[in-house]
Amino acid sequence: MASKKTAADMPVRWMRKTALLSTGLLALWIGGMALALPQQTLQASLRGLSVWWEVLFPALFPFFVLSELLLGFGVVHLTGSLLDPLMRPLFRIPGVGGFVVAMGFASGYPVGARLTSRLMEQRLLNREEGERLVAMTTSSDPIFLIGAVCIGFFGRADVAPVMAAAHYGGAMLLGFALRRGGRQRREDDAETEAGAPESAMRSTGRQAAGSGMGPGGRGRLRHAVAAMHRARLADGRPFGVMLQDALKSSLQLMIVVGGLVVFFSAALELLLHSGVLSSLRFGFGRLLGAAGLVPGLSEAIVQGAFEVTLGARAAAEAARSAPLVDQVAAAAFVLSWAGLSVHAQVAGLMSRTRWRYLPFLRARLLHAVIAAALVYLLWPLLGPPA
């Protein structure tokens, strides 16, 4: 038995060693390029720092603090009891996931990952549920999608309905599609739930349904308020302490996010100067041409693979070579893929849990394809008039 288990683990170990070696070589190469091009590295780092301070910090920091306070007050338990009858049939996720979906869609990446990691740490979600929830809630916020991309980059507010429908509709379809996978719960997840002090929360919706409380009735509302009260008593921190803890943890998270933004900004600039991206642009251009699309959109795909803002801007700047519908589809693809910079932020936020990156990577690619396809399907209905 031991030999069979070892043989089965060999491909996984080989993949991990290969990934570790590749990451080390890439880091060594980027460090060498930074030493060879210090001026370009400094300018790119300053641009990334400017984006973090002027855009990301004011946009994300209040939501981080608010989410910590809502968790402390037990609002997650309140919404979990109310939304459990909706979330479980649709997405096979406990009702607390509804709070994460709402906050994630409203505030954008990586708030959904932050909330999911907190719920997994509190054992309100197992690994399978947490992975599906992070995949579904890693989305852009409406202010960035409409204000920055549609109005700022494209200069057209009339493309906002189709892009928003494709992006958020794709996220919902992704969550519905992922519910069909992984029906067998792993033993370690079951053990985790069994030993969780908050594990009773995972079945609040079922208890409410079994007690004859209809959806939307007073009985369900009383049950939800009682769950919120129990969670607040279990937390026990005074408001001043809770606010101080929320500010401290949110500042730490923002520093991590800022460091990743600066790093990827510098890394992308070095890749551009080294000529590595030229071959990637050529390869993606050939693929797009074979699919009947404009090869000029490869610039948006390549830059968006690393950083979502640059990719969305490149899609809007392809106006001379690509039809508007293709530009919007490329932008929706980039927004849903989210860029490796956001991937790194999500991975950092989920590092304290048993979350896995590979399912998230597949989900991001699937979301990107679904969003681009929805743009073409919805264009006759929601697109701007010809």
> For position 9, what pLDDT does the model report?
55
The H or E element containing residue 317 is none
More confident of the two residues 152 and 375:
375
pLDDT tens-digit map of 241-260:
999 998 998 898 889 888 88
Q: Is the pLDDT of residue 193 over 60?
A: no
Distance CA 5, CA 3 (A): 5
Instruction: Indicate the pLDDT class of residue 10, thresholds 50, 70 and 90.
Output: low
Q: Is the pLDDT of residue 348 over 70?
A: yes
Mean of the pLDDT values across residues 228-243?
85
> For position 130, what pLDDT does the model report?
93
Instruction: Indicate the pLDDT class of residue 374, thresholds 50, 70 and 90.
Output: very high
pLDDT tens-digit map of 262-271:
888 888 888 8
Instruction: Indicate the pLDDT class of residue 212, thresholds 50, 70 and 90.
Output: very low
Closest to 125 (Cα-Cα) out of 227, 206, 201: 201
Q: Is the pLDDT of residue 275 over 80?
A: no
More confident of the two residues 328 and 228:
328
Least confident range of 185-194, 297-306, 373-382: 185-194
Closest to 273 (Cα-Cα) out of 32, 11, 28, 23: 32
Average pLDDT over all residues of the chain: 81
Closest to 174 (Cα-Cα) out of 91, 80, 85, 107: 91
Task: Report whether 91 contacts 123 (CB < 8 A).
Answer: no
Mean of the pLDDT values across residues 6-30?
67
pTM of the model: 0.79
Q: Is the pLDDT of residue 189 over 50?
A: no
The angle that helices 160-178 and 75-91 make with each other, rounded to 10 degrees, is 80
More confident of the two residues 13 and 219:
219
Task: Report whether 135 contacts 367 (CB < 8 A).
Answer: yes
Percent of the chain with pLDDT over 90: 25
Task: Report whether 270 contacts 304 (CB < 8 A).
Answer: no
Task: Report whether 166 contacts 371 (CB < 8 A).
Answer: yes
> For position 263, what pLDDT does the model report?
86
Q: Is the pLDDT of residue 219 over 80?
A: no
More confident of the two residues 76 and 177:
177
Least confident range of 10-24, 187-201, 218-232: 187-201
pLDDT tens-digit map of 28-57:
877 887 788 888 889 988 988 888 888 778
Mean of the pLDDT values across residues 155-167?
94
Distance CA 174, CA 47 (A): 33
Task: Report whether 281 contacts 304 (CB < 8 A).
Answer: no
Report which residue type is found at 168: Y
User: According to the per-residue pLDDT averaged within each range, which of 25-39, 174-188, 358-372 is highest?
Assistant: 358-372
More confident of the two residues 109 and 372:
372
> For position 195, what pLDDT does the model report?
43
Q: Is the pLDDT of residue 70 over 80?
A: yes
